[in-house]
Amino acid sequence: MISPIRTHLRSVVAGPLALLVTLLWAPLAGAQQPDTALQSPTPLFDQRPPPAVITVLPAPVTPAPAFWALISGYEGDTHGSGYGFVGPSFVRPIRPGLAWTARAYGNYLSYEFSALDGATRVRSPGLSAATGLRFGSRNFVTVSAGPDVKFRRTNVTSPDGIIATRTETRVGANVGSEVYTNPTSHNNVHGLVNYSTADRYTWGRLGFKEQISNREWEGPNAAFVGVEGIAQGNQDIRSTQVGALFEISNVPTKVSVMFKAGYKRSAFDVGPAATGPYFSVGFYRRMN
């Protein structure tokens, strides 16, 4: 009687006990078995972490420094006309591609013409100033405006030798625009137009120059040659001219001197036209 009961109990306990041993032994047995996945060759790049992405912020763009320059020039011809000026100019960048400009010049305009009732000679020294904006950097356009004052003296000589003189002070404004562009690293196109209400005088120029020496800027001096066309005048005189130019620049001192010469024709409201050569010299010195 006991034997069948023992046999039954042994069978009842043996099943769950075997199941429990199996559950406990399986992880241990798996841990002791070799890992075939680790033993198999694996490409190196599969085991590397993803590359770090480094964001490099661009360096802040700062405007170029401000600078002063001294500019002067004189132009004369063989029939009594001339114009000279001298004064400082200032350029202060606001941001890349935009700057404000200022200039102040002392100037001197003179011309003369003849008619049946005598000869007229005009001398007009004056002062002018202007402020404006420059758009661009290597190539730019400038627009400017400011006050103008002229101390005008007119002498009229009659055929019998009597001289009549009239003096007056004229106050007005001058407005202008300038275009400066570099088609290549060794040549330049420059255009300029200016109008003064005090003398009612317009002056416009278009020029081209080519660098013929020291293009790599390894030496102290550089030479340029070029051509120009000029149109100018008011109600008394109107002139057109064309000529050639030669410029020499000294790099260490930031000085440029330009010489110009050519042919000029002037027409007047009264009297015959006058023709002949003209000559000009210009000076530029950047201060910083």
Greater confidence (49 vs 170) lies with 170
- The confidence score (pLDDT) of residue 288 equals 79
Residue 46 lies in a domain: no
- The confidence score (pLDDT) of residue 269 equals 83
Residue 165 lies in a domain: no
Cα–Cα dist 56/144, whole Å: 41
Mean pLDDT in residue range 72-82 = 94
Residue 40 lies in a domain: no
Residue-range definition of the domain harbouring residue 245: 67-113+123-152+171-286
Does residue 226 register a pLDDT over 70? yes
Residue 247 lies in a domain: yes
What is the count of structural domains for the chain? 1
Does residue 44 register a pLDDT over 80? no
Mean pLDDT in residue range 34-53 = 43
Residue 4 lies in a domain: no
Residue 235 lies in a domain: yes
Q: What mean pLDDT value characterizes the chain?
A: 83
Mean pLDDT in residue range 2-27 = 45
Does residue 143 register a pLDDT over 70? yes
The 10s digit of each residue's pLDDT in 172-210 is 999 999 999 999 999 999 999 999 999 899 999 999 999
pLDDT range class, residue 59, cuts 50, 70, 90: low
User: How deeply is 77 buried, as exposed, middle or buried, from its count of CB atoms within 10 A (0-12, 13-18, 19+)?
Assistant: buried
Provide the percentage of residues in the chain whose pLDDT is more than 90. 66
Task: Give the total residue count for the chain.
Answer: 288
CB distance 111 to 83 below 8 Å: no
- The confidence score (pLDDT) of residue 162 equals 77
For residue 138, the domain's CATH number is 2.40.160.40
Instruction: Tally the C-alpha atoms within 13 A of residue 103's C-alpha that lie toward its C-beta.
Output: 25
- The confidence score (pLDDT) of residue 86 equals 97
Residues 125-130: contacts with CB under 8 Å, at least 24 apart: 125/150, 125/151, 126/150, 126/151, 126/198, 126/199, 128/104, 128/174, 128/196, 129/102, 129/103, 129/104, 129/105, 130/102, 130/103, 130/174, 130/175, 130/176
Does residue 20 register a pLDDT over 50? no
Residue 249 lies in a domain: yes
Residue 27 lies in a domain: no
> Residues near 197 by Cβ (< 8 Å), separated by ≥ 6?
148, 172, 173, 174
